[in-house]
Chain A
Amino acid sequence: MMEILTGNELTTGATVYLDKAGHWVEDLQAARLFAKEEAEARDAAIAASKATGHIISLEIETVNVVDGLIVPVRLRERIRASGPTVPVFERQHLSEDAHVSI
Chain B
Amino acid sequence: MYRYDEFDASFVRGRTAQFADQVKRRISGELSEDQFRPLRLMNGLYLQLHAYMLRIAVPYGTLNSRQLRKLAYIARTYDRGYGHFTTRQNIQFNWPKLKDVPEILEHLASVEMHSIQTSGNCIRNITTDQFAGAAADEIIDPRPVAEILRQWSSLHPEFSYLPRKFKIAMSGAPSDRAAIRFHDIGLQAATNAAGEIGWEVWVGGGMGRTPMVAKMINGYVPHEHLLAYLESILRVYNRYGRRDNKFKARIKILVHEEGLETIKGQVEAEFAEIRGGVLTLPQEELDRISAYFAPPPFETLPATRIDVAREKILDAAYGDWLENNINSHREPGYASVTVSLKPIGKPPGDATAEQMEVVADLAEHYSFDELRVTHEQNLVLPHVKISDLRAVYDALVAAGLADGNAGLITDIICCPGLDYCALANARSIPISQSISQRFAKQERQKQIGELKIKISGCINACGHHHVGHIGILGVEKKGGELYQITLGGDATENASVGKILGPGFEAEAVPDAIERLVDFYIERRESPEEPFIAAVRRLGEAPFKEALYGNG
Check B97 against A75 for contact (C-beta < 8 Å). Answer: no
Check B33 against A53 for contact (C-beta < 8 Å). Answer: yes
- Give per-residue flags for A14-56: 1 if the beta carbon is below 8 A from chain B beta carbons, else 0: 1100000000000000000000000000000000000001001
Check B98 against A12 for contact (C-beta < 8 Å). Answer: yes
Chain B interface residues toward A at CB < 8 A: 26-27, 29, 32-33, 47-52, 80, 95-99, 346-347, 418-420, 422, 424, 427, 429-430, 433, 476, 479-481
> How far, in whole Å, are A48 and B238 apart by their CA atoms in the complex?
40
Question: Looking at B419, B476, B480, which has the most chain A CB atoms within 10 Å of its CB?
Answer: B419
Docked complex: A63-81 residues within 8 A CB-CB of B:
73-76, 79-80
Check B98 against A75 for contact (C-beta < 8 Å). Answer: no
> How far, in whole Å, are A73 and B528 apart by their CA atoms in the complex?
48
How many A residues have CB within 8 A of the partner chain?
Answer: 25
A-chain residues with CB within 8 Å of residue B424 when the two chains form the complex: 76
Query: In angstroms, how far is the closest chain A Cβ from the Cβ of B504?
Result: 15
Q: A12-B98, A13-B50 are in contact. Are A53 and B419 (CB under 8 A)?
A: no
Check B50 against A83 for contact (C-beta < 8 Å). Answer: yes
A-chain residues with CB within 8 Å of residue B47 when the two chains form the complex: 8, 13, 56-57
The residue of chain B having its C-beta at the shortest distance from the C-beta of A85 within the complex is B419
Query: In angstroms, how far is the closest chain A Cβ from the Cβ of B490?
Result: 29
The residue of chain A having its C-beta at the shortest distance from the C-beta of B430 within the complex is A86
Q: A11-B27, A56-B33 are in contact. Are A86 and B419 (CB under 8 A)?
A: yes
The residue of chain A having its C-beta at the shortest distance from the C-beta of B46 within the complex is A13
A-chain residues with CB within 8 Å of residue B419 when the two chains form the complex: 79, 84-86
What would 16 more interface pairs be, CB under 8 Å, given A86-B427, A89-B50? A8-B47, A10-B98, A11-B27, A11-B97, A13-B52, A14-B51, A15-B49, A53-B29, A75-B418, A75-B481, A76-B49, A76-B424, A84-B50, A86-B429, A91-B50, A92-B50
> How far, in whole Å, are A95 and B27 apart by their CA atoms in the complex?
14
A-chain residues with CB within 8 Å of residue B427 when the two chains form the complex: 79, 85-86
Q: Top 7 nearest A-B pairs by Cβ distance?
A: A13-B51, A84-B419, A13-B52, A92-B51, A86-B430, A80-B49, A53-B29
Q: Which of B29, B32, B50 sits near A80, CB closer than 8 Å? A: B50
Query: In angstroms, how far is the closest chain B Cβ from the Cβ of A23?
Result: 19
A-chain residues with CB within 8 Å of residue B80 when the two chains form the complex: 89
Cross-chain pairs A/B with CB under 8 angstroms, 23 sampled? A8-B51, A11-B97, A11-B99, A12-B51, A13-B47, A13-B50, A13-B51, A13-B52, A13-B96, A53-B29, A53-B32, A56-B33, A56-B47, A75-B480, A75-B481, A76-B49, A79-B427, A84-B419, A84-B420, A85-B427, A86-B430, A87-B347, A92-B50
A-chain residues with CB within 8 Å of residue B48 when the two chains form the complex: 13
A-chain residues with CB within 8 Å of residue B50 when the two chains form the complex: 13-15, 80, 83-84, 89, 91-92
The residue of chain A having its C-beta at the shortest distance from the C-beta of B30 within the complex is A53
B-chain residues with CB within 8 Å of residue A56 when the two chains form the complex: 33, 47
The residue of chain A having its C-beta at the shortest distance from the C-beta of B27 within the complex is A11
Q: A86-B430, A87-B347, A89-B80 are in contact. Are A11 and B479 (CB under 8 A)?
A: no
> How far, in whole Å, are A75 and B430 apart by their CA atoms in the complex?
15
Query: In angstroms, how far is the closest chain A Cβ from the Cβ of B474?
Result: 11
